[in-house]
Amino acid sequence: MEKVYSDYFKAGENIIRDIHDTQIEHIEQASQLFAQSIASDGLVHMYGSGHSRMAVEEVFPRYGSFPGFHPIVELSMTFHNQVVGANGQRQAMFIENIEGLANRIMRNFVFKPEDSFLLFSTSGTGNVVIDMALEAQERGLPVVAITGVENSIQSAPKHSTGKKLLDIADIIIDTCVPPGDAAVQIDTLKYPVGPTSTIANTYIVNLIKVRTAELLTQAGQPPLVLTSAHFIGKEASEQVFEETYDDYRRRVWRNQ
């Protein structure tokens, strides 16, 4: 029994070490780009299908986060709770491979030259996320992809262009997760269990978030950070929440 605990712990430890050893330069590039977007009153648009939604929500809004990051989440491709029946997983997996849907999603938003994109996909092959990258590219907006490079290399392209996220993104950050994502082999069980991409995504986006906050502060534009009442008191916490949400609304609604 204890071996599976140790195996999963080691897998997570190895991934975090590999990210630190091999991806910091790319993470720094992304942080510099995002700090520039936010400092210029732009937005960092974020999108991920399926379980990548968790990475989007890890960035904003939550304690220790700040405006400037714009989460785009489509329930049709991320609402997994019911599994079968209405809003089931079969439909979600079908929808996330429909070309042209990203264009319909992006028609709901206004984009500015200062903006940038952060896209999540372990395989880097889903048609909606590929289209999202292509739509951003057409608008002249830089694209950062957080993806499993080895997973993507071993996955066949699905998009009609034959492209994967690796082929489009300006900056690629490798999650360093093993092929297939799951990391633990169990005797007599045919397939591995224990996915690891959530650990990798969360670690990477928080590295980006803290560095972006540092860069903004150094530039004289310290961000409004959602902070718990436990640290600053109920009244101050409520005030910073209101100010943060107001700033987010102003940025997203493109008010001048």
Q: DSSP letters along 125-182, please?
A: --HHHHHHHHHHHHTT--EEEEE-HHHHHHSPP-STT---HHHH-SEEEE--PPTTSE
Q: What is the pLDDT of residue 204?
A: 98
Which residues on adjacent β-strands are paired with residue 193? 184
What's the confidence (pLDDT) of residue 4?
93
Lowest mean pLDDT among 46-60, 75-89, 163-177, 237-251: 75-89
Strand duo 44-48 + 116-121: pairing: parallel
Q: What is the pLDDT of residues 77-121, one digit of tens each?
A: 787 778 888 888 888 888 888 899 999 999 999 999 999 999 999
Reported as a pLDDT band with limits 50, 70 and 90, residue 256 is very low
Task: Give the CA count within 13 Å in the CB-facing half-sphere of 225.
Answer: 17
pTM of the model: 0.93
- C-alpha–C-alpha distance, residues 152 and 120, integer Å: 12
Rg (CA), the chain: 19
Q: What is the pairing mode between strands 193-195 and 182-184?
A: antiparallel
Q: What are phi and psi of 184, to 5 degrees?
A: -115, 125
pLDDT tens by residue, 151-175: 999 999 999 999 999 999 999 999 9
Domains of the chain: 2-253 (3.40.50.10490)
- Tell me if 225 sits within 8 A of 236, measured CB to CB: no
pLDDT at 74: 87
List the Cα angle 178/181/183 in 5-degree steps. Answer: 70
Q: What is the mean pLDDT of the chain?
A: 93
